[in-house]
């Protein structure tokens, strides 16, 4: 078994949050935000009020910013 496949197998067995996991989470949050934004621009708030939609969008944006900051921080540490 190659070193890379062994490393991948070991990582799969550990319940650790990886940079890849964070990237997937950030992408997912971004996609949800974009779908909300599209509906917001069409004034389609679904079951939410306009204010609730805005609050949800702000929360999603803040989560994305935090996830991105964590990713950037880990990348800086890896370069050091």
Tell me: the pLDDT tens digits for 9-35? Answer: 666 677 788 989 999 999 999 999 999
Q: Do 56 and 8 form a contact (C-beta atoms < 8 A)?
A: no
Evaluate whether residue 28 is within a structural domain.
Answer: yes
Evaluate whether residue 34 is within a structural domain.
Answer: yes
- Domain residues for the domain of 31 are 17-79
Angle separating helix axes 19-41 and 50-79, nearest 10 degrees: 150
Evaluate whether residue 5 is within a structural domain.
Answer: no
**pTM: predicted TM-score of the whole model, two decimal places:** 0.74
Evaluate whether residue 26 is within a structural domain.
Answer: yes
Evaluate whether residue 39 is within a structural domain.
Answer: yes
Evaluate whether residue 4 is within a structural domain.
Answer: no
Evaluate whether residue 1 is within a structural domain.
Answer: no
Tell me: the pLDDT tens digits for 50-66? Answer: 999 999 999 999 999 99
Degrees to nearest 5, angle at CA 64 with 60 and 69: 150
Evaluate whether residue 46 is within a structural domain.
Answer: yes
């Amino acid at each position: 078994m190659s070193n890379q496949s062994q490393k991948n197998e070991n990582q799969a067995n550990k319940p650790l949050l990886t940079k890849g996991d964070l990237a997937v989470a950030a992408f997912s949050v971004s996609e949800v935000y974009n779908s909300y934004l599209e509906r917001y621009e069409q004034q389609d708030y679904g079951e939410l009020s306009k204010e609730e939609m805005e609050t949800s969008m702000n929360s999603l944006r803040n989560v994305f910013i935090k996830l991105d900051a964590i990713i950037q921080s880990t990348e800086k540490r890896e370069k050091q």
